Amino acid sequence: MSQSNNSSDSYTIVIFRGSTAKPLRFSFPRSIVRRALILGVCLILADLALLSHYVIRTGEVWELQALREEMLSAREQTAAFSTAVGDLKRRLLTMKEVNQRLRVMLGIQEIKSPDLLNGRGGDETPIEGSKAIDVTEPVGNKVEPEQKPDQNPQTSSSTLGPSEENGLAFRVKQELAWLDNEAAIQEQSLEELTVAAEKRSSRWAATPSVWPVKGWVTSGFGPRISPFTDKPAMHDGIDIGAAPNTPVHAPAAGRVTVVGFDPKMGNLVNLDHGYGIQTQYGHMAKALVKIGQRVKRGDVIGLIGSSGHSTGPHLHYMVKVNSQAVNPQQYILD
């Protein structure tokens, strides 16, 4: 095959098919050849442009996919971290409540005055001229360590939008600031409690701190509707329901000052723990201690019964501080 110019305006291609055969000639105008070359170059450039665009876009898609995966991972970690912060917050609040009780029990914080405390008694007295009273009876509450409801349920990270994610991050930041501040306060409180506990170990042994019997709180401390008159009345202790003849334990060291029978309280025992603290146990089936006897925390002092003015087997538990009835649950840690 050979190529030659027949004229200045065209290109001729001659194809030789042998020594005897007549050669084939093809003539192409120069302008057409030039246009074909230009078109080919343009097509090649277009292909290169499309290929480079495809490569760039593919890289961007991969980058976007990686960013999306990182964002989903960050959302999941933020949600998990928020849940962990919520758990820490609940634990810190529980510790704060225990610290508050310890401060009361160790005498670091003064007992509220009678008008603020809204004292209650076992010997009910009708409230004359009273109107509607909001009385909440903790009937059926099991005597176990208190568990607070989950205040920060984990949010599904796959459903979080940008605004929700920003809100979650802001909430986590706020909770972290609260935890930092509250932890510092509780750390200082614990230091004060440590010093006070070291100085008052003897008082600690004489301070009620456990449940006298395991059961259910059938009637709380304070205003209630009397089960006998169906009228508002004051209750100076808590009633703990339990099976008959369940042992009643002393919640702290003390001396037995009263063992006897009262028409309303039934078989009762009074303990003097010193430091102005006294406890009373009523409606028992039987008292197992004598007047003047010394008891330690955990010693059995009687058995659950339903003696006196009672609707069923239970223990009436009362705590007095400086002759003022207070909520016994302030003196219970377990």
> pLDDT tens digits for 161-214?
556 666 767 777 787 888 888 888 888 878 877 777 776 777 788 889 999 999
Q: What is the pLDDT tens value at each position of the chain, 334 positions in all?
A: 444 444 567 878 888 777 787 888 878 888 888 888 899 999 999 989 999 888 998 888 898 888 888 888 888 888 888 888 888 888 888 888 887 777 777 667 654 544 444 444 455 666 665 554 554 444 444 444 444 444 444 444 444 455 666 676 777 778 788 888 888 888 887 887 777 777 677 778 888 999 999 999 999 998 888 888 888 888 889 999 999 999 999 999 999 999 999 998 999 999 999 989 999 999 999 999 999 999 999 999 999 999 988 989 999 999 999 999 999 998 988 7
Q: Which CATH architecture has domain 216-331?
A: Distorted Sandwich (2.70)
Other C-beta atoms closer than 10 Å to the C-beta of 221 total 27
Question: Which ranges constitute the DSSP H helices of the chain?
Answer: 30-105, 114-117, 162-199, 201-205
Domain regions of the chain by residue span: 2-68, 216-331
Q: Is 38 helix (H, G, I), strand (E, B) or coil?
A: helix
321 φ, ψ (degrees, to nearest 5): -120, 115
Specify the DSSP class assigned to residue 9.
Answer: T
| Helix-strand-coil split of the chain, %, nearest 5 | 40, 25, 35
Nearest to 235 by CA among 121, 315, 318, 115: 121
Q: DSSP letter at 161?
A: -
| Residue 317 φ then ψ, to 5° | -115, 120
CA 113 to chain centre: 32
